[in-house]
A and B are shown apart, each in its own frame.
Chain A
Amino acid sequence: MTGIDPQSLISRAKNLWCPGCGNFSIQHALKDVLAQLDSEGHPVENVVIVTGIGQHGKTFDFMNLNGFYSIHGRTIPVATGIKLANPGLKVICIAGDGDCYAEGLDHLVFGAKRNLDITVLVYDNRVYALTTGQYTPTSPYGYRGRSTPGGDHENPINPIELMLCSGASFIARAYTHRRDQLKRVIREAILHRGFSFIDILQICATYNDLTSYYNARVYDWDEADAGDRDAAYRKAREWDYNRDARIGLGILYRHTAPVFEDSYPVPKPLTPQERDAWIAGFMEERG
């Protein structure tokens, strides 16, 4: 089977990201993965991306993919509605760390809790870039941004640990300077049936360039025990997004569990005649 040209997935829209932005790596990884999947019988027209608001969201404009450009923090409920309407669609939420760890955190937890069959890619640059440099839920303690010139006074959340206890059935961490691994993990996440989540450590060239910090600390997780929940908790806690530690990358956890959409299969709707007969019966009962 011959697939589509990956380049055809890049839209005519002028790219607006800063030079050196980590978002390019994710965009091109996604493009290559989807083109490859198209050639393997997962047609690209079945893909829908749902984006929030932030630099990540511009992915919507820069790609030729069905899309729903939602509001800040609100990708997952939109994806839920799309999957309920048509479970055959591959829905990929493209979210940011401010977007889905702050404003829309409840939806992330509930998406995992329901084990909705969608993929969530979080472009985690650990800073609000679109709004020019404020701290986010994953910024380290003491982050000096324009809203916290003296440093922020909150510890970051650990999103992969949060996803583990919320019920996500596929959890991974990737890094924009590890392109091959990023592609592999995105592919596995899309093919996973259930809630698949990737926290993508993405460098922000302008407000939070952690390239040398990450390069010195990242290593690949041994994925042989990816089905072991306790092992996953241990690995997730190795680095808390704050203190200095080794930073594991790859698939942290995956297992098979019933998915939400299977509990609400799309029924064959009543015909207008069947519906009117039901209503007439109801009226009769109330007469």
Chain B
Amino acid sequence: MKNGEVSILVGGKAGEGISSAGQIVAHLLGQAGYRVHMYFDYPSLIKGGHNFAIVRAAEEKVGAVRKGVDFILALDQQTVDLHRPRLTQGGVVIFDTGTVKSSSGIGIPVKEILDAEKAPAVMGNSAFFGAFARAAGIGWESAETVLRKSMPKGTEQNLRVARRAYDMAEERLKIPGTGGACLPVMTGNEAIGIGLLEGGLQAYFAYPMSPTSNLLHFLAAYADELRIRVIQPESEIAVILMSLGCAFAGTPSAVGTSGGGFCLMTESLGLAGIAEIPIVIVLGQRTGPSTGLATYTAQADLHFAANAGQGEFPRFIVAPGDAGEARAWSREAMRLAWKYQVPSIVLADRIICEGLYSVDGLTAPAPGSGPLPADPAVRPYFRYAYTESGISPLRFPPVKGEVIRVNSHVHDPDGITTEHPATTRAMAEKRMKKGAGLLAEIEGMDPVKVAGDRTAGTAILCWGSTKGICEELGSAMGFRVVRPVVLQPFPEKTFAAAMAGVARFWMVEENETAQLGRLVREHGYVPAGTILKYDGRPFFVEELADELQKAIA
């Protein structure tokens, strides 16, 4: 076990609750004052197959997992067979003596425990949890607190099952408490949902698609309490158009999808662009092209998101690096979409969406200003009135004596179709003025993050979910880490300041062509090299450390 951190792998068959088991372990370590991150690896099927979750807990902020693990919780034989080589020196395997053969570790007779408590098979995970808590030297009280919170149904029976296993196991590898505060642990999807709510979300539209389906499920589960509407339309085409209809009538909403669904939305993305209707799209990237790997990750849709739709129009694209940033920037995505009447895209990925993160609830900065209200004294109302900022004040039907028109064609200030060259040009320039205003505001929003050794002349450039691993290795290995969070409009000034004094830099990305590398080249920055991964899995800490060593040393 490394100093100040611990990694636990939970493995079993799909349908055995591996993700939930990993989450409970993550919560237990959160209670002990650790910051946690969980990576969940599962194939695209419902029952059977091999699933595993890796929980990494550390005293410092953590956003990536190691290949090496200190504990393996083996719900099936395959977990031992596949993952034992990962076990670190002194690591412990906890297994079910009834179904799994292991040459060492702590065996728990899960079936006997369940029989003794007349508990259903699904409660077997509580036995593993109890045994793990004991093996890690964690007091029963902490385990009980976490189990009570995580198991609102059948709580007492689960506790009895866990307690029996706790008493049968023995302490093997103590995970000491850090004395740090216990931070909330949540998925990126939940954090995005909270950010959207903080941005004024009143309705959410989505067609199910991994990895954002759980955002749909999260908002649907709490829709009544939150007093929002959550609707699953017939296609992603209907999804985005319903959201645009809502916005036309004055109701802020958002949509969520992945690459395939976003393909279907692109025609309406252009509609939002020319008609100047606010739209917020959560785009969770997964491995492509096409259906690709449905349940695995990628960072390969940056240029697609940046260029989707025919014609030219400003858009806001932000790629948060963890759940905390996902929350803060989802709120800003809502605000900026409505202030500038442009599309906002929250560009996440499988790791952000479905990964677990410890979040500091207090990090969200105060929001900036919202849309300018329309002056009812100005009559007649023109939906596309020319203004200095290019932003026309918004009004929503019904307004007595006024006609409110939005239009997918080139239109005049009143929204009526025109083919007039001077109006065509003036309206194009009006839209681009909004982009300039948006860029100016973004430059003041700390849109490019610098971490690691902040003065080093050697840098790594990354974006999105590789934040955690790059910052960790940047600090450990002495590299500067430069990470644009806002990707469109590209904050060139802040980026230049972040790059001041950098002599050489490498791109670290989870795609095949270094998409951020292509973007910074457009602005005159040429990378010395690239470190790329595109097998659907995130970089593991040891793996990227080796690659960096080889590339840069």
Contacts and interface: CB of A to CB of B under 8 A. Distances in A.
Residue of B27, B229, B244, B245 with highest tally of chain A CB at under 10 A: B245
A70 interface: yes
A14 to B, nearest CB: 10
Contacts of B397: 45-46, 48, 66, 86, 89
Contact of B244 (A48, A65, A78): A78
Interface stretch (A24-32, A143-151, A204-212, A267-275): A267-275
A147 B416 CA distance: 31
B245 A85 contact: yes
A279 B197 contact: yes
Residue of B27, B246, B275, B401 with highest tally of chain A CB at under 10 A: B246
7 contacts: A12-B416, A45-B399, A46-B398, A61-B416, A107-B234, A275-B197, A286-B185
Chain B at the A interface: mostly helix, strand, loop or mixed?
Answer: mixed
A106 B236 CA distance: 12
A66 B233 contact: no
Contact of A66 (B185, B205, B268, B405): B405
B234 A110 contact: yes
B398 A78 contact: no
A69 interface: yes
A275 B183 CA distance: 20
B482 interface: no
B144 to A, nearest CB: 16
A81 to B, nearest CB: 2
Interface string A246-287: 000000000000000000101111100001101110111111
Contacts of A65: 403
A107 B400 contact: no
A181 B267 CA distance: 38
Nearest to A264: B229
A80 B233 contact: yes
Given A69-B417, A78-B248, A82-B246, 14 more contacts: A66-B403, A66-B404, A68-B406, A69-B275, A74-B237, A77-B241, A80-B242, A81-B243, A81-B247, A84-B245, A85-B247, A279-B198, A282-B194, A286-B186
Interface string B182-193: 111110000000
B249 A82 contact: yes
A287 to B, nearest CB: 5
Interface of B: 27, 30, 149, 182-186, 194, 197-198, 202-203, 205, 225-229, 231, 233-235, 237-239, 241-251, 253, 267-268, 271, 275, 359, 361, 396-409, 411, 415-417
Contacts of A78: 241-242, 244-245, 248
Contacts of B399: 45
Contacts of B205: 81
A89 B198 CA distance: 28
Contacts of A58: 417
A67 B405 contact: yes
B249 A86 contact: yes
A6 to B, nearest CB: 15
A69 B233 contact: no
A71 B267 contact: yes
B241 A74 contact: yes
Given A77-B237, A80-B245, A283 B417 contact: no
Nearest to B400: A45
Nearest to B239: A77
Closest 9 interchain pairs by CB? A81-B245, A85-B249, A77-B241, A85-B251, A81-B242, A267-B227, A286-B184, A77-B238, A45-B398
A15 interface: no
B248 A60 contact: no
Interface residues of A, number: 53
A121 interface: no
A287 B267 CA distance: 42
Contacts of A275: 197-198, 226
A231 interface: no
A85 B234 contact: no
Contacts of B27: 286
A43 B400 contact: yes
Interface in A44-102: 45-46, 48, 50, 53, 58, 60-61, 64-71, 74, 77-86, 88-89
A106 to B, nearest CB: 5
A13 interface: yes
Given A69-B408, A282-B194, A84 B241 contact: no
Residue of B227, B241, B403 with highest tally of chain A CB at under 10 A: B241
A102 B399 CA distance: 34
Contacts of A64: 403
Contact of B398 (A89, A282, A285): A89
A11 interface: yes
Given A77-B242, A78-B244, A67 B415 contact: yes
A283 B406 contact: no
Contact of A285 (B149, B197, B245): B149
B26 to A, nearest CB: 10
A121 to B, nearest CB: 18
Contacts of A71: 267-268, 271, 408
Nearest to A81: B245
Contacts of B405: 60, 66-69
A84 B252 CA distance: 11
B331 to A, nearest CB: 11
Given A77-B242, A267-B228, A275-B198, A13 B417 contact: yes
A267 B229 contact: yes
A282 B197 CA distance: 13
Residue of A67, A82, A83, A286 with highest tally of chain B CB at under 10 A: A286
Nearest to A275: B197
Contacts of A45: 397-402
B416 A13 contact: yes
A263 to B, nearest CB: 10
A166 to B, nearest CB: 12
B242 A84 contact: yes
A248 B224 CA distance: 47
Contacts of B398: 43, 45-46, 66, 88-89
A89 B242 CA distance: 15
Contacts of A50: 245
Nearest to A13: B416
B364 to A, nearest CB: 10
B458 to A, nearest CB: 38
Contact of B408 (A70, A83, A88, A279): A70
